[in-house]
Amino acid sequence: MDFMKALRAAWRERNSLLCVGLDPDPARLPSSLAGKPRAVFEFCREIVDATADLVCAFKPQIAYFAACRAEDQLEALIEYIHIQHSGTPVILDAKRGDIGSTASRYAEEAFARYRADAITVNPYMGWDSVEPYLMWEGRGVILLCRTSNPGGGDFQNLDLGNGEKLYERVARLASGSWNATGNCALVVGATFPDELARVRALVGDMPLLVPGIGAQGGDIAATVSAGQTSDGLGLMINSSRAILYAGEGNGGNFADAARRAALDTRAAINTCRGASVSPLFRG
């Protein structure tokens, strides 16, 4: 699979900019799975089956698997997605960043071991810490630019003296000299729509992974308006907790609740998409 081609196909075929984040918190798994040896995999598998036709990508967050020694379940989950929902890109959210020789090992982990189609990468260590991922043909490399968390601005928003912010410098490099292969993308949080618009203005139609709607409070209308490309695409709008745990506390089937939440979120996103999108494709 070529990540960028698969993403563009999924945007159109599934009429969706929604990315579902797979962050299986052991403390929040449904009671029906309690005590099962592969509860993390089973939970994610049911979420995936319930939402795959509604998403442009899945994004497993590796920390949730690593903290509970469930690397084997993460491997099984990504393999399951590739087999059962072929064509759905999988982004490994790992935010790796290290010197070249070590980055090569992390790339091996993400692309050979887990068979992810894309990985998130932290750019703080510069070009030679990013290049090893880009040497994997057809894999996406999604660099942190302006993150959605409260402290995201501590460094990312610092002014470089010429009016340019640090996150803008990241965006400029990632869409310029670093992007010879065309496989770069960026992470820009939904919680800062002005900065999302600024990044969109800098990077052309580069795909943006946008966390921060749902539990983190980002506004869907502002996000779509600020981040979409002229053809109403360009975004992977991530929701994790608001979909995974939509059924929490109501006693119903968690996968059904997740599907309803994904349908609602996709519809809310599509309602806001540009006029260039056919009305037939909305909702």
Using CB under 8 A, list all residues that contact a copy of itself.
23, 61, 63-64, 66-67, 69, 71, 95-103, 105-106, 108-109, 112-113, 122-130, 144, 147-156, 158-162, 166, 169-170, 173, 211, 216
CB of 60 to a copy of itself, least distance (A): 12
CA 213 to chain centre: 12
Nearer to a copy of itself, 122 or 229 (CB): 122
Nearest CA to 237 out of 204, 270, 205, 259 is that of: 270
Handedness of CA 252, 253, 255, 259 (dihedral sign): negative
- The catalytic position among 5, 36, 59, 95 is 95
Residue 59 is a catalytic residue? no
CB of 28 to a copy of itself, least distance (A): 11
CB of 229 to a copy of itself, least distance (A): 26
Nearer to a copy of itself, 2 or 75 (CB): 75
CB of 115 to a copy of itself, least distance (A): 13
Nearer to a copy of itself, 161 or 251 (CB): 161
Structure tokens at 224: 């779509």
**What type of residue sits at position 232?**
G
Nearer to a copy of itself, 89 or 123 (CB): 123
CB of 245 to a copy of itself, least distance (A): 12
Nearer to a copy of itself, 67 or 271 (CB): 67
Distances (CA, A) of 192 to 40, 148, 222, 236, 274: 32, 7, 9, 15, 20
Nearer to a copy of itself, 165 or 259 (CB): 165
CB of 278 to a copy of itself, least distance (A): 36
DSSP bridge partners of 120: 142
Active site residues: 95
